[in-house]
Structure 1
């Protein structure tokens, strides 16, 4: 039972908790507001949906500690969560009790603090994590509702990513040191993610099989950077563990590359055989190649393009070449979502026709010769 009392010029609501403790909510301006709250308390208690208000006094700091101890994700995912928590969530909300979060305050934080300082996709990722954290507080009975729900924030659609034509990829690779150029060509003709190609090992590269291919290993198929440390781990999703078949020209180029680097564990490395760091590669290799060089007669090339856009490029090429959807899904390591995807299967004919199409692209529009590549200083690992 809940009741209303007048107290020091305002009204308060009092009610008995399960342990017979009397709890008080102060600060209601008028009796109607207090009566409505008392009715809500009685209704929630009757329907067994009442949340002990003392639990809501837990701070977000303490709850995040408990949530972190119970949560398990891949190291690379946790590194992202940890960054969002340390750099964005706690700096704004540290010390706030779970019960004190207001929906409109969260909406203001997203719109006025996060979005002006980062891409909408990043702001949305932070909000999704925050909502997940508070949603589990609801599930644990600490608070009655999640203040992140139904915020009605109109995040901008992600812009369509650029892709490159075959000759653009060749020109881009030609502005790099040969090994980096081959890495770029390989990515465009396989669609591997950055971590998959940067962590690719020779033991997973089967160039002498009847149908040469790369295997993306489910446990060690991708290179991750976790708190500044490079380490091998699983690829992005279970569907990412896959076999990627290679067109003939790429097999020849990779064999020659292997002969030049007989003692290397990894297919593509930086200076002194070190592993590639994405930020270093982007700054020292990728961006200069895109920007061009007036003295060498190199015009800027698709300057908004990221290395990951080579993956978009690969899928665009497959679509242009009428490669079946199921073949594209499996080759790119995407999850099968539709019923048709589940009941479709890869055939030898699909593999052969896909490789023929990629080979034809190289022979007609590509075919850049590695020996003729310009001398460019290699990037540091």
Structure 2
């Protein structure tokens, strides 16, 4: 049964007549716990009885754990127990160090309220998406605190944060419009042509396959131009594919972190794809792209299909700065000087285009040509929601129609530009059949 004890204050090494009350109560394991600092005996006993009642209900939380600082719980308990891909861990530590810890590191877990968190996130100077990620990460951590018996409830769970409206929203960085998130095929072709038969083919491949940056930059020649073969219409359907490998299918670039978030150096290596349930996949390639890839692999001496000229992995920032940004955004011309040839000026084609926009572009093309939902999700590496994902599956006829549609988009783009060749490697003088369909003789 709970009871209270006097705790006398000490001044200059001597006990005084002043005192407070300490609550003593029985924990679930039969030992006694205590909590000091009560002004009255009644308050101390009430607290102790409340702890014992919670123990009988089975939902007792140690008050000492509830008072643990948020930063201590994150560093010592949550982050070590929630190990993820290196890039995910680096991104979490960045959110914690840059935005969350300056405000919450030394706050006790049970002192965190939704009102304070919502007010805080509105003051962050980062973009609104990052604000949302920070609040989401905090909520995930506090759910972990509930699971670890540090809190009874997560005060952030299920709450909708306040977002900027009106003038405040206008002051933040504007998001891209839907039109800016994808590129017409003519723009893709012109940018690819500027970038040449290696880096330009990289851009073209992403736009017509939906490969993400890590998947394309980490593409190995052993996973390129493989063959899909399925029974179809009395024969077989065949088409070349690119495979996103489940083990080493994505190039990851991040900072390796130690147990407490300390930086241990940069990492640039192949890892499993981010979502290992849907992202490993075989992507059907239209004939024009298969032809270009075949020419490229015949000439290219390196294992990685889209590496640097020296065969090393591209860093995303370097690829954008040296290749995509000048080709898409335009550049100034430079005169010939000693040691450097003249450089022609380039007018802008699609300013701001990113490799992620090319992934948007591919899925937009799929929607444009009416690719069936089961196949569209499979080819883009998206997990299809709902019961239809269980019962509906891509068929060879669906694949045939998709490839024909993508081939047509390419050929119409070339025709609109008045081009018959691209880097001298593909000709439209004879239209190609999209799918090889071998029928058994009757």
TM range (shorter): 0.7 to 0.9
The two structures have a TM-score, normalised by structure 1, of 0.84
For residue 211 of structure 1, report the CA deviation from its aligned partner.
1.6
- Tell me what 1:366 maps to: 414
Q: CA deviation at 1:138?
A: 1.4
Q: CA separation in 2, counterparts of 1:67 and 1:81?
A: 12
Number of the residue aligned with 1:339: 387
Asked whether 1:88 is paired with 2:99, we answer: yes
CA distance in 2, matches of 1:268, 1:327: 26
Structure 1: runs of 5+ lacking an equivalent: 374-381
Tell me the equivalent position of 1:376. Answer: none
When residues 22 and 34 of structure 1 are mapped into structure 2, their CA distance, relative to the original with a 3 A threshold, is closer
Which one of 241, 253, 256 corresponds to residue 213 of structure 1?
A: 241
In the alignment, which residue of structure 2 is the partner of 1:60?
70
Distance 1:334 1:180, change over 3 A: same
Q: Which of 348, 363, 369 in structure 2 is aligned with 1:321?
A: 369
- SS of the residue aligned with 1:231? strand
Q: Deviations over 1:155-193 (max 9, x none)?
A: 479755421111011122122233111110111010111
Contact 1:336/1:342 (8 A) holds in 2: no
**Rounded Cα–Cα distance in structure 1 between residues aligned with 2:346 and 2:401:** 35
The Cα of 1:372 is off from its aligned counterpart by 6.7
Q: What per-residue deviation string (whole Å, max 9, x for no partner) do you get for residues 276-325 of structure 1?
A: 11111122222222212465574423324321011111111111111111
Deviations 1:264-285 (Å, cap 9, x if unpaired)? 1011112322211111112222
Relative distance call for 1:287 and 1:73 in structure 2 (3 A) is: same
Matched, 1:126 2:118: no
The change in CA–CA distance for 1:68 and 1:207 in structure 2 (over 3 A counts) is: closer
Partners of 1:357 and 1:110 lie apart in 2 by 46
Preserved CA contact (<8 Å) 1:207 1:255:
no
Give the number of the structure whose residues are more often strand, by fraction.
2
Report 1:1-381 matches (<5 A): 14=23, 16-18=25-27, 19-24=31-36, 26=38, 44=54, 47-64=57-74, 65-113=76-124, 116=125, 118-155=126-163, 160-161=177-178, 162-206=181-225, 210-227=238-255, 228-237=266-275, 238-261=277-300, 263-293=301-331, 298-366=346-414, 369-371=421-423
CA contact (8 A) 2:25 2:51 kept: no
How far is 1:93 from its partner? Answer: 2.5
**Closer, same or farther: CA 13–22 of 1 in aligned 2, 3 Å:** closer
Q: Which has the larger radius of gyration?
A: 2
**Structure 2 CA distance for partners of 1:361 and 1:3, relative to 1, 3 Å:** same
Q: TM-score, normalised by structure 2?
A: 0.73
Q: How many angstroms apart in 2 are the aligned matches of 1:349 and 1:27?
A: 79
Cα distance in structure 2, aligned partners of 1:103 and 1:45: 27
Q: Quote the offset at 1:245 in angstroms.
A: 0.9
Q: Which one has more relative contact order, counting CA pairs under 8 Å at least 6 apart?
A: 1
Runs of 4+ in 1 over 6 A off after TM superposition: 1-5, 33-40
Q: Aligned to 2:35, what secondary structure does the other structure show?
A: strand
Structure 2: where are the runs of 5+ without partners? 10-19, 170-174, 229-237, 256-265, 334-343, 426-442
The 3 A distance-change label for structure 1 pair 34 and 223 is same
CA contact (8 A) 1:57 1:99 kept: yes
